[in-house]
Amino acid sequence: MKKILYVVLDGLGDLPIKELGDKTPLEAAFTPHMDKLAQKGKTGIVYPVAKGIAPESDVAVICLLGYDAHKYYTGRGPLESYAEGISIHDGDLALRVNFATVDKDGETILDRRVGRNLTTEEATELAKEINSKVILSSATFEFRNTIGHRGVLVIRGQRSRLSGWITNPDPAYGREGVFGVALEKFPNTIQESRPVEGHENDPKAIEAAKLLNEFTQKAHQVLEKAQTNKKRASEGKMAGNAIVSRDAGDCLPTFPSFAQAQKLKFGSFVQMPVEKGIALLTGIDVVHLPLSTGKPEIDYPLWAETAIKKSKDFDGLYIHIKGPDEPAHDGNFNKKKESIEAIDKFFFGSLIPKINLQDYIIAVTADHSTPCKLKAHSADPVPFLAAGGAIKPDGSMSFSEKTARLGSLGEITGREVLPLLVKLARE
């Protein structure tokens, strides 16, 4: 059986951009290594969850690993909290959060990510302020910052269990059933959390929404006075003076073991807490890497070197690279193009020359599209390629959204990708 290298480029997909000659950032990028893989293999397009769904990364990754997200997903909050080592018991309310910047009214959002320049050290200081000074009326909580402006919150009710069936204070994300979905248009104010439709009379949801609103208000009051924010303001930077939360859940998902379900031993390279949580809960080994330097010319060759070395220990590796998503959320198409070029040059350029492609199946796709013009995830499909082993070329000349639509693999869903890769690896 060939080794599988399953590479997911976060937010890779996009739509044509006028300033790029009506090309997407992927089409406009110089990507000789991914293009060569496409020329040696087959291409197609993937709907990570299903047609019409603009997924968050967590739901998409669950599907891309072969699981039915409708069956197992319990919210992003529990996944990220578990990845950070916080205990989650049934009835605990767990949420993914962002530090954000709000106006003097405490509600109008100026930036959902504090200008993307809140350091982890600053966030740690702000988290200490929240944990030491916020007291809830009928609950305890754990608040923890993770990477940059990101964090997690777990609230434990003292009167009763809490329910995750509540709406998001973060206006940029809605809910479709249990799934969190990115919204293309949304109000620019922190929203009051309420029980979702069908749970309006559930005491556990009513109490959860009340406590979350209380936390949001009290955290803002504490953050407004924090010395870290005063220092940032004196330096002309945005203050991380609010918490916006989303994707509540009240229990951990119980995934079947990946090894038992797929009869494969997989390892994973992940950068973000949500992917780490999914790996841990599915029994996929997390391959530890040095902390990112933020310099692709240093980080990506190291990832490639580690992938070659660690592939000997596993049947396959799941490699999730955050790169293209962040500039897409900022609407910066040039930076997204540069990010894609850096991945091609420093990751694939370091990987492909050092392996015998006949011994591997390499797949490249994305967890969702993040069009720069929307600055949000969309329901558009993502390009997909598979090369190596005994795969015969299908005539694809490059790797892009447009050419992938013409590939022989056609349209598939996220859950169909892994079985396809396993089949190709066994041929």
Q: Is 375 exposed, middle or buried (0-12, 13-18, 19+ CB in 10 A)?
A: middle
Q: How far is CA 347 from CA 73, 305, 354, in A?
A: 31, 9, 12
Statement: residue 179 has pLDDT above 90? no
Confidence (pLDDT) at 404: 98
Share the mean pLDDT of the chain: 96
**266 torsion bin: left (phi>0), alpha (psi -120 to 50), beta (else):** beta
Statement: residue 229 has pLDDT above 90? yes
User: Could you tell me how many residues make up the chain?
Assistant: 427
* Confidence grade of residue 177 (pLDDT, cut at 50, 70, 90): confident
Statement: residue 237 has pLDDT above 90? yes
* Confidence grade of residue 272 (pLDDT, cut at 50, 70, 90): confident
Residues 6+ apart with CB under 8 A from 268: 275, 279, 284, 285, 286, 287, 317, 318, 319, 320
The pLDDT > 90 percentage for the chain reads 93
* Model pLDDT for residues 70-110, shown as the tens digit of each residue: 999 999 999 999 999 999 999 999 999 999 999 999 999 99
* Model pLDDT for residues 17-43, shown as the tens digit of each residue: 999 999 999 999 999 999 999 999 999
pTM of the model: 0.90
Query: What gap in Å lies between CA 383 and CA 94, rounded to an integer?
Result: 33
Residue 291 neighbours by CB distance under 10 Å: 7
Q: How far is CA 377 from CA 93, 144, 310, 410, in A?
A: 25, 25, 32, 22
**119 torsion bin: left (phi>0), alpha (psi -120 to 50), beta (else):** beta
Average pLDDT (236-250) is 97
Element (H, E) at 83: helix 76-83
What the block records as the tokens of 152 is 């997690």
